[in-house]
Structure 1
Amino acid sequence: MPVIQFPYGKETLSIDIPQERLSAVLTSEMHDYKPELSQEELVCQALEHPIGTPKLSVMAEGKKKVVVIASDHTRPVPSKIIMPQMLAEIRKGNPDADITILISTGCHRETTKEELINKFGPEIVEKEKIVVHDCDDPTQVSLGKLPSGGELIIDRLAVETDLLVAEGFIEPHFFAGFSGGRKSILPGIASRKTVIYNHNAEFIASDRARTGIVDGNPIHIDMLYAARAAHLAFICNVVINSDKEVIYAVSGDVDQAHIAGREFLSSKCKVDAVMSDIVISTNGGYPLDQNIYQAVKGMTAAEATVKEGGVIIMMAKSNDGHGGAEFYKTFKEEKDLKRMMATFLATPKDQTRIDQWQSQIFARLLMRATVIYISDAPDDMVSDLHMIPAHSLEEALKKAEEIVGNPNASICAIPDGVSVIVI
């Protein structure tokens, strides 16, 4: 029997699946991609050959204030490799530059000092000026209207700088199409008001707001506009494998460089759906599986290949709990998913509730399939979120077979649900 391994936190869990029941193992080719250059060399080469802009060192000339946007603790961006090189390039162009690293938390909780050290290493945390974005900061600045009509309000530091740049990584994203690039601004350093408008129910319900799609995606359109309006001048983005290692890097214009990055990614991670009774998925392990909120992303890969009325077995350590107070409250207090969805769709764009977008996507997939959730989260929390708790793959699979009423039900395995685009 094939032994399938699934990342879970910083470990892996495995299960033997009979060959005759295994319908498919959906994996990204990028996990087997072996670049000729080291991680550091890939980033260096990207910075040496930017797309659509001069080198970062040239752009930094004469710029007194420089802000470098960095992702927060929920993203596995290899900042220890990217950030030192970006800082060196800036100082090459202007040794006296006043540099601030701005942590793009979006509407997430504040990143802790320990998490910053884990992300950047102790030297950068000790020596550099680091500010964590607060989406509720009253001093944020309005830059006018987005194409959708929402107000674009962002962190004052990003507005008052002479040069705004960003690091990040590109992966499939379940409603923005792809992460990275323009997302450093919206939602990264935007106000809560701006984020909730962009993530409104109408946009989330669009069939263009899906993994791997940007053309006609209303969420992406607003995000790219926001990046231009904020004068995000330069990005350095990478693609990583399952070991969180850089396998591709690109730098330059926020759109042109991002296009190159997502074209590379798409060439490695598109897979065809194989409709199955039971689908096992993950959020790729640490750090993306620290809470249930983030785990919805990995579930959407399973949603695309599970038969209606089937079962999704989702594995996410969730040691940080539910990850979204409003998200949790929504499902705990409302047990009728159809009524919940109707409420979302009737909510005006400017009155979008916090976490509503995640709740809407989660409700959509729960209406398609039962979810059995393997985690370290409390069982009652998992149950409150309309899922069935389990503590091992064997236990989850037994429950899944009982639900579908077939001990020989077909099984599809997706070892890393956030790294594939299921077509």
Structure 2
Amino acid sequence: MTFEVPRGDGYVEVDLPDCDVTIAELPGGEPVDVREAAEAAVADPHGPPLVERANADDEVAIVVTDVTRDAPDGILVDVLFEELEAAGVDREQVTIVLGLGLHRPMDEAEIEAELDEYADLAENHDPDDTVTLGEVDDVPIEIYRPVAEADLVLTTGQSEPHQYAGFSGGAKTVIIGAGGESFIKYTHGPDMLGQESVKLGKIDGNPFREAVEEAGELVGLDFCLNVTPGPDGFLDAAAGDSGAVVRDLAETAREALAFEVDGEYDAVVSGVGAPKDAQLYQTTRGITYVVLSDGAPVKEGGRVVVPAVLDEGYGAGRGEERFYEWLSGAEDAESCYQAMLEGYEPGAQRGFVTVRSLRHADAYVTNSEDPDLVEECLMHAEETVEDAIEPGSDVLVVPKAPKTLLV
């Protein structure tokens, strides 16, 4: 059977004539025009409209997602500016903060591509320049100074399936994206991530999501505008109170992105694509989103196969460095997992869930520009997807793993 899987901005064609292949076809939905959907959401928000929350003399911070996400932040920011102008807020009163978390800073070209006419208002978040605004679960909430000192805090981005938060977006973009190391370490540590209720697609009863939302209230996140992605394009937008926004969009996503797994497979071909497959750190989502899903489609001792570009190696941020140090310095997944249970620095959590997955199944990264890196980090490198799958295998294909809920 011949099929296509994302790699970078394109696709690789795969032919597995000797295998029994199942494609994870998603219900999907009709894509919306992002601007029209965002304007409609802002006009009918959860809670008071933005024009009523803003004052003409407010200093405003808008926290947006970084280059590792593919949210249409530029359009969403433009829609928010229409509301701010209606409230009497001038352009010069607004700072746009690129919510990096512990990822690398964005360069001028990337900022221009994301924010267009608003690029001159943007600055990269610095996790070392923070203000402590209080505590959640006895952990300091450190927020990037320009956000902490703003009178009005807004955020854009997307609510999509997320390994820890259930769904991304909402307060997470501010608290993690524009936060300091202390809360990132707490929410991404082994005690939190080892809990059964911290999982992909789960919001209610998820302590990660609950901690982030409590921190968002403490910081004073005033207004959120998010979209939710489907298999092709974006499906909806919601605005207003951040918790309600995420729950609203999660309902749309669950209907559009769920695939019911029937049994276990020898191998899963997992698509990631741009921008995430530029680096190994983000590419491992194609492994963990499959192995640690509710559907758990991979047999014990099976394999997950992910085509990826890896033109940025393992990644260039502080978190990516820590991820690489753990995996490249380990002899095997089990010993690395046991060592990480004792604790690790924030950013290394992607290494933790990766080795947790590798204890169950092998991982193969194919079609990459850096096969040596893959082999160095407890995974296997092959030139093609076909090379990574044994003839006669029962194969599940998940074309867009980060946007799929395997149930």
**Shorter-chain TM-score range:** over 0.9
1:331 aligns with 2:327: yes
Q: TM-score, normalised by structure 1?
A: 0.90
Q: How do residues 312-331 of structure 1 correspond to structure 2 at under 5 angstroms? A: 312-323=304-315, 324-331=320-327
Number of the residue aligned with 1:282: 271
Number of the residue aligned with 1:416: 400
Q: 1:27, 1:269 within 8 Å by CA — same for their partners in 2?
A: no
Q: Which amino acid in structure 1 is aligned with residue 380 of structure 2?
A: I
Q: How do residues 260-299 of structure 1 correspond to structure 2 at under 5 angstroms? A: 260-274=248-262, 275-283=264-272, 285-299=273-287
Q: Measure, in 2, the Cα distance between the counterparts of 1:80 and 1:19.
A: 46
Query: Which consecutive residues of structure 1, in runs of 5 or more, have no partner in the other structure?
Result: 402-406
Number of the residue aligned with 2:24: 26
Q: Measure, in 2, the Cα distance between the counterparts of 1:331 and 1:364.
A: 12
Identity of aligned residues (%): 26
Q: Measure, in 2, the Cα distance between the counterparts of 1:239 and 1:195.
A: 24
Residue 38 (structure 1) shift? 2.4
Query: Which consecutive residues of structure 2, in runs of 5 or more, have no partner in the other structure?
Result: none
Q: Which amino acid in structure 2 is aligned with residue 299 of structure 1?
A: I
Q: Measure, in 2, the Cα distance between the counterparts of 1:379 and 1:240.
A: 31
Q: 1:78, 1:246 within 8 Å by CA — same for their partners in 2?
A: no
2:109 to 111, 114, 117: 114
Q: Measure, in 2, the Cα distance between the counterparts of 1:342 and 1:395.
A: 31
Q: Secondary structure at the match of 1:108?
A: coil
Residue 415 (structure 1) shift? 0.3
Q: Measure, in 1, the Cα distance between the counterparts of 2:250 and 2:99.
A: 21
1:99 aligns with 2:83: no
Number of the residue aligned with 1:250: 238
1:359 aligns with 2:351: yes
1:144 to 134, 157, 170: 134
Residue 318 (structure 1) shift? 1.6
Residue 106 (structure 1) shift? 0.5
Q: Measure, in 2, the Cα distance between the counterparts of 1:5 and 1:179.
A: 27
Change (3 A) 1:63 1:264: farther
Aligned Cα root-mean-square deviation (Å): 1.7
Q: TM-score, normalised by structure 2?
A: 0.93
Q: 1:185, 1:226 within 8 Å by CA — same for their partners in 2?
A: no
2:211 to 212, 222, 236: 222
2:340 to 338, 344, 363: 344
Give per-residue Cα distances to partners, 1:106-141, cap 9 Å, x unaligned: 1111111111111122x2214xx212101122xx11
Q: 2:188, 2:346 within 8 Å by CA — same for their partners in 1?
A: no
1:370 to 339, 342, 362: 362
How many residue pairs align between the two structures?
397
Q: Which amino acid in structure 1 is aligned with residue 334 of structure 2?
A: K
Residue 55 (structure 1) shift? 1.6
* Stretch moving more, 315-324 or 408-417: 315-324
Q: 1:282, 1:295 within 8 Å by CA — same for their partners in 2?
A: no
Give per-residue Cα distances to partners, 1:341-383, cap 9 Å, x unaligned: 2222223xxxx31333111100011111111111434222110
Q: Secondary structure at the match of 2:322?
A: helix
Number of the residue aligned with 2:225: 236
Q: 2:160, 2:169 within 8 Å by CA — same for their partners in 1?
A: yes
Residue 96 (structure 1) shift? 2.8
2:71 to 77, 86, 103: 77
Q: Which amino acid in structure 2 is aligned with residue 38 of structure 1?
A: D
Q: Measure, in 1, the Cα distance between the counterparts of 2:388 and 2:19.
A: 19
Q: Measure, in 1, the Cα distance between the counterparts of 2:174 and 2:90.
A: 26
Number of the residue aligned with 1:404: none
